[in-house]
Structure 1
Amino acid sequence: MRSPSLFAPMPVSPLSEKIAESLAILQALGMPRAQLNDRSALTLLALLDLKPAGSWQQLERPQIGVTPIMDWCRDFYSTTYAPNSRETFRRQTLHQFREAGIVLYNPDKPDRPVNSPAACYQVPTELHNVLLTYGTPKWESVLTEYLATRPTLTAQYARARDMELIPLQVAPGTVIKLSAGKHSQLISDIIHEFGPRFAPNAEVIYVGDTASKDGYFQREQLAALGVEVDAHGQMPDVVLYDVARNWLLLIESVTSHGPVDGKRHGELSKLFAASKAGLVYVTAFPDRKTMGKYLADISWETEVWVAEAPTHMIHFNGDRYLGPHQI
């Protein structure tokens, strides 16, 4: 006869139990199937600082960023994610949490730049109060009441986000919205101040870091100039096309990923190698003080423009001022 112990149920670990409960909550909140996974479950637990031995009746509301969330998953749930998983967390979990009203983005400073290392997320008070009842007799009724008001709350959060966006006209009748912050202000200055002075009547081909995940991209126009790009993340911050001179101006805002240094110059040269238009590389700075920090890094045969002195350009060597160079 077999020992009864062979048929005893396997014990459920506190780690897997909390993950299962978190998944059940996400499902109850109506999250799509693509977000019903361990990554999203752990993210919710991190946003509540709910450790394996913790209680749903003792939840916190920390303001926490993407990397700290990943570190928290490793430290308390023994789940390690590769550093390059940051974008997966951001785009495949936190973006959907934000749209659903499960988290607020930068509640302490809504105008924080999107590329700021201080960017953070926090569970709204309304949802936090609901989750405190999970596992109690009140859960079902409190959840039902919350779900009835949720569309109103989500719309309220969306309006608050929209108020923080910066409108930017890129063509007659075409206005896009930039995420708030110094970076977006410099992008606006490039379009409104640099362009009219140094590339009059130029067409805006590309603007990155907009409220839309795809940015503003005249992909067909760029393809007509011989350049086809698969991942727009490789693009500079702004691309202008000077029709009269047949130039493509590739402009980097130093407030995003730094200046056009030797490495970036090589990347852009390769990306735009098939261009039928001449290539002009430009680094834009908000002021001379910021420029001073990067002078040693700026590549030769490139241009520098400073927003606080918009009528001037600084040329880094080469055979001509403001124009394509033969390499």
Structure 2
Amino acid sequence: MKSLPHSKKSEAIAKMLRQALEILEAAGVPVENKSERAQERMAMSFLAVAGVAADWKTARGLDEKRFLKTREVIQFINANFDENISNGSYDDIRRKDLKLLVLAGLVLKSAGNPNAATNDPTRGYSIAPDFVRLIKLYGTDKWKSGLAVFMKDHQMLNEILAGKRNIEKIPVLLPGNKKLELTAGKHNLLQKQIIEEFLPRFGQGCLLLYVGDTANKLLFLEKKALENLNFFELSHDELPDIIAFQPEKNWLFLIEAVHSSGSISEKRMLELSRLTQNCTAEIIYVTAFLTKTDFRKWAADIAWETEVWIAANPDHLIHFDGFKFLGPYESDKK
């Protein structure tokens, strides 16, 4: 059964919510990536639409002409699940709490009036008839066989969404020919360039220890290696986008990939330096951009004693390091 370890509900209510989540997950609704509170709200909204407060056999849906508008969903939740949700939050029911259930075809929107406009007060939500029949089997010896029959005629939403995400991935080649897939987007395109272009040039021999994806903050993580360096708590919200370690020089690269936010400013550098004060490696701070145009937007915010790398000009670094690198370059002239 699903777990809600931090729920403040009574055991009876918490049990119903856990059962609701177990039913939804069995029917293919992806719930794992939602916060515990979001899972609670999804479960309560599902129970409300089904008209279930304590007994799954009481579930009703389209065939029973049970249609609930979003404010009625809130009223049912408040009355049965120890909540005090404002009626003004009705749009959250539609946009967040019931969204995946509607996408999965388990809950039908505008069930009472299929042609109703978005803001029509007659719009209602109802449980699909075949899902009602499945729900009533929960907790009986017919649940598993009933679920198998149900799933023969339904494609799981988590599989549909996974298939869509697999199409919209950016493949990244890691050292050792390992592969990683990032969600599509300019930010992750830049992260790909950092891994494949920056590190081989300026971090030769680096071990990639962490990569955060826009859809999965802990997509790639070498937890033990970071712990061995006394790196700060890995669940912390302040993780940079990419972390790489060069053992030969004992350098730890903290890299921010900047598309719309997140450069290593004086404030960001201070935060990171305090968080890594017990780290046994020497820290190198790098802010990366796709183009010079992007860099110009953020140039005034870049902290001193950091590096800037631009993917469009991959062979060069911009040093915000004062006199450290002052001196003539070797001439090509004979």
Report the TM-score when normalising by structure 1: 0.61
2:271 to 243, 267, 281: 267
More off after superposition, 126-135 vs 177-186: 126-135
> Partner residue of 2:88?
76
How far apart, CA to CA, are the structure 1 residues paired with 2:213 and 2:158?
23
Contact 1:177 1:210 in 2 (8 A): no
Residues 43 and 209 of structure 1: CA distance in aligned 2, closer, same or farther (over 3 Å):
farther
SS in 1 for 2:153: helix
Matched residues, percent identical?
32
How far apart, CA to CA, are the structure 2 residues paired with 1:257 and 1:136?
43
Contact 1:210 1:216 in 2 (8 A): no
Contact 2:170 2:183 in 1 (8 A): yes
Residues 38 and 235 of structure 1: CA distance in aligned 2, closer, same or farther (over 3 Å):
closer
The reply to whether residue 134 of structure 1 matches residue 142 of structure 2 is no
The reply to whether residue 124 of structure 1 matches residue 103 of structure 2 is yes
> Partner residue of 1:52?
71
Contact 1:27 1:36 in 2 (8 A): no
The reply to whether residue 175 of structure 1 matches residue 175 of structure 2 is no
Alignment of 1:21-60 (within 5 A): 29=24, 39-41=41-43, 50-52=69-71
Alignment of 1:227-266 (within 5 A): 227-255=231-259, 257-266=261-270
2:285 to 276, 281, 284: 281
SS in 2 for 1:150: coil
Structure 1 counterpart of 2:103, which letter?
P
Residues 111-158 of structure 1: CA distance to partner in whole angstroms, max 9, x if unpaired?
xxxxxxxxxxx9427345488383798874598886543355542332
Residues 208-242 of structure 1: CA distance to partner in whole angstroms, max 9, x if unpaired?
11665522121222222332424253211111112
> Partner residue of 2:227?
223
How far apart, CA to CA, are the structure 1 residues paired with 2:280 and 2:38?
47
Contact 2:211 2:242 in 1 (8 A): yes
Residues 256-290 of structure 1: CA distance to partner in whole angstroms, max 9, x if unpaired?
64200011101110121122222111100111111
Alignment of 1:87-166 (within 5 A): 103=100, 123-124=102-103, 126-129=105-108, 132=111, 134=126, 140=132, 147-166=151-170
How far apart, CA to CA, are the structure 1 residues paired with 2:189 and 2:224?
27
Structure 1 counterpart of 2:126, which letter?
Y
How far apart, CA to CA, are the structure 1 residues paired with 2:263 and 2:88?
39
Report the TM-score when normalising by structure 2: 0.60
> Partner residue of 2:324?
320
RMSD: 4.3
1:194 to 174, 195, 198: 198
**Residue 39 (structure 1) shift:** 2.2
Structure index of larger Rg: 2
Residues 52 and 262 of structure 1: CA distance in aligned 2, closer, same or farther (over 3 Å):
same
Contact 1:170 1:176 in 2 (8 A): yes
How far apart, CA to CA, are the structure 2 residues paired with 1:36 and 1:219?
27
How far apart, CA to CA, are the structure 1 residues paired with 2:268 and 2:233?
16
> Partner residue of 2:307?
303
Alignment of 1:9-20 (within 5 A): none
Residues 140 and 79 of structure 1: CA distance in aligned 2, closer, same or farther (over 3 Å):
closer
